[in-house]
Structure 1
Amino acid sequence: MSGAAGPAASPDGRDDLGGEGTADTMRERAGENRAKLWLLLRANRLVVAGVLTLAVFVGFVAAAAAFSPALAEKVGASDPIETLFASMITAIVTGATLVVTIGQLVLTQENGPLGDQQERMDDTLAVRSSVAALTGEPAPTDPAAFLDALLAAATGRAHALRESVRGRTDGSDGDETAVGADVDALAAGVVGNADAVRDRLDGAAFGSFDVVFAALDFNYGRKLGRIERIADEHGEALTDAERDRLDELREALSLFGPAREHVKTLYFQWALIDLSRLILYAAVPALVVAGAMVTVVDAGTFSGSTLGVAHVTLVVGGAFAVTLLPFSLFVAYVLRVLTLAKRTLAIGPLVLRDSE
């Protein structure tokens, strides 16, 4: 979803404040195909893992059918089945152990001596006090409501800044001065973008990707950059009251940055713990299937064919796909985490071309 447009962009993609284009949503900033970004970020991770598993099965069977009967006969032989699934047992056990190690590394961040825990608490309460001072009420405890409160404060301060310069003219033809036009465009961008994100935060529950995904679409970094440029180019034209309003808006936007990063970090930990649990769950049936294939299945276990595809090929392909399910889960979750990390590498008004 897009927020309100900011300053008009010139043909070379630079806006009238000297910045690059004015896109607010992550998809627009990244220039990615909508379907690709949906697959990497928005799609349910269990569905993505299921699709990957199904693709492995279909690919395996299609390859066997294409090279039939030679490949089907080879798959039907006992030794290749033993070799394949014995290797899969080793891979599953090793992978599950690695996942447990990753989970332990995530959890170690929550462990520590009493002094460290007290420091974490003091830092958290200090930030919450800053947010309470900014919004004029106690900081919400729900992550979505917490981000929403910051956006509401930014919207209110953008309105106040716009009102403080409204009606300024150059004394000739009644047009707004350059400072009035730039401030109005900045305020419109903040309000429009914040309102769109707040609509998506409404009712979003942490644990799902909805909170983080909505927060990604508030382009606070570019707005901070515009504030700096306005202060530099129009500092002398601004009154003391207008400079105070500009600083207040900057304060609201600068608090949103670390708040979003904190929520994103918590989501990373949440997702990696979920991933560890799911892989351990999937490893048990995968080991059972791999063990059964090694000890039970041979060339004569499944005779006959369907639509020209040997039954043993279908069974081996299905079993191979099931044993790869833990890896499919790993790929599905890590794709989202890595994509999200890349798109949010920089904090503040620093634009990375690959992520912006």
Structure 2
Amino acid sequence: MSETALGSERSAGRESDVSTENTMRSRAGENRLKLWLLLGANRLIVTGVLAALVFVAFLLAGVFLLPPFTQTVASGDVLDTLFTTMISALITGVTLVVTISQLVISQENGPLGDQRERMSNALDFRTYTGELIGTTTPADPSAFLASIVEASAKRAEKLRGLVDGLDSGSDAEEDLKREVDEFVDSLVENADVVGDRLDGATFGSFDVLHAALDYNYSWKMFQTERLRDVYADDIDENVRRALDDLHSSLAMFGPAREHVKTLYFQWALIDLSQLIVYAAVPALVVAAVMATFVDTATFTGATFGVTDLLWVTAAAFTVTVVPFLLFIAYVLRVATIAKRTLAIGPLILRDSQR
């Protein structure tokens, strides 16, 4: 093959930018507030915000819609119908949540052989990780992920040192050095940021998984493969081995993150089940009281120009929907994480990353 043809082939295989946005927010191309609401915010805070919106919406509807709220209640069994329906919905919803919890817990149950296989797979992966990081694999999830991230940064620096040692002076080699330097800078910077966020993060909160989601390992795996293939004729065996080692460390991060993600999903769903059960008891009591004892004669005054009956009804309705709002808050986070981690390995699904 002629030099011109070879150069054209290399140019076709190169990317104009070997680095990319590393944080999930930057890769998603969405605003900070939306991602904070979907992922970063405490789920109880999100539930409180949703409850406040429900309360305000109900209150405004009662104030501005005709006929007046008091007249509507007086003309029929509105409160009885509304809160009797909510009692049925609460009982059905709590039963469904308990069923979901049983499904999550059932994944941990199984015969002795299955449990032995799970243990064997876990120990095998810890052995591989120990070989990768050169020391005992940490037991803490945040330290476990951080050790893999740190190992990939060290291997990237080793790659840069080997590439800098090449001295043929060809144009292709200069391109390789430039791309590797840019790639390693991006990887090390990303690894430092993620490592700092993982340091001290406690599993059970979202902090561990949130930090792991910001390590853009899939793009980095693709770049190691591309550099190895495009510059196959310009690198020696040491550089090729360094690229393979870096690729292996990045490939280890994928299943490690997925394992932590799976554990977090189970943890979050169990937390959700407990919170819904806790919230369902006062919600049932409030709904029963409103359906049985409250009518237009119970609250006859007004506060800030709004009838007390409307204030009480809006508050009572908000309390009865809290279990459902908890479900929404948790599902928003779990569904968002699942959507953004559908692919494992060097597959880019979002247009903003291509």
By the TM > 0.5 criterion, same fold?
Answer: yes
Counterpart residue identity of residue 256, structure 1: F
Q: Secondary structure in 1 aligned to 2:77?
A: helix
Whole-angstrom distance in 2 between the partners of 1:215 and 1:203: 13
RMSD: 2.0
Whole-angstrom distance in 2 between the partners of 1:77 and 1:250: 72
In the TM superposition, what are the counterparts of 1:1-356 in structure 2 within 5 Å? 17=15, 22-67=20-65, 70-76=68-74, 79-169=77-167, 171=169, 177-353=174-350, 356=353
Q: Which runs of 5+ in 2 are unaligned?
A: 1-11
Task: Please state how far the C-alpha of 1:227 moved relative to its aligned partner.
Answer: 0.7
Task: Please state how far the C-alpha of 1:70 moved relative to its aligned partner.
Answer: 2.3
Task: Please state how far the C-alpha of 1:132 moved relative to its aligned partner.
Answer: 0.3
Task: Please state how far the C-alpha of 1:354 moved relative to its aligned partner.
Answer: 6.1
Task: Please state how far the C-alpha of 1:72 moved relative to its aligned partner.
Answer: 3.2
Whole-angstrom distance in 2 between the partners of 1:18 and 1:349: 18
Contact 1:23 1:29 in 2 (8 A): yes
Whole-angstrom distance in 2 between the partners of 1:60 and 1:211: 38
Task: Please state how far the C-alpha of 1:18 moved relative to its aligned partner.
Answer: 5.6
TM-score (norm 2): 0.92
Whole-angstrom distance in 2 between the partners of 1:101 and 1:355: 38
Whole-angstrom distance in 1 between the partners of 2:182 and 2:119: 39
TM-score (norm 1): 0.92
Whole-angstrom distance in 2 between the partners of 1:206 and 1:222: 26
Q: 2:6: which partner in 1?
A: none
- Which structure 1 residue ranges, 4+ long, deviate > 6 Å from structure 2? none
Whole-angstrom distance in 2 between the partners of 1:347 and 1:19: 22
Whole-angstrom distance in 2 between the partners of 1:19 and 1:352: 18
| 1:105-140 Cα distance to aligned partner (Å, 9 max, x none) | 111110000000000000000000000011111100
Whole-angstrom distance in 1 between the partners of 2:230 and 2:120: 39
Q: 1:9: which partner in 2?
A: none
Identify, as 1 or 2, the structure richer in helix.
2
| CA spacing shift, 1:99–1:15, aligned 2, 3 Å | farther
Task: Please state how far the C-alpha of 1:73 moved relative to its aligned partner.
Answer: 1.7
Contact 2:23 2:214 in 1 (8 A): yes
Q: Which runs of 5+ in 1 are unaligned?
A: 1-13
Q: Secondary structure in 2 aligned to 1:289?
A: helix
Q: Which moved more, 1:65-74 or 1:180-189?
A: 65-74
| CA spacing shift, 1:85–1:20, aligned 2, 3 Å | farther
Counterpart residue identity of residue 156, structure 2: A
Contact 1:151 1:194 in 2 (8 A): yes
Whole-angstrom distance in 1 between the partners of 2:115 and 2:61: 56
Whole-angstrom distance in 1 between the partners of 2:187 and 2:235: 20
Contact 1:17 1:182 in 2 (8 A): no
Counterpart residue identity of residue 146, structure 1: F
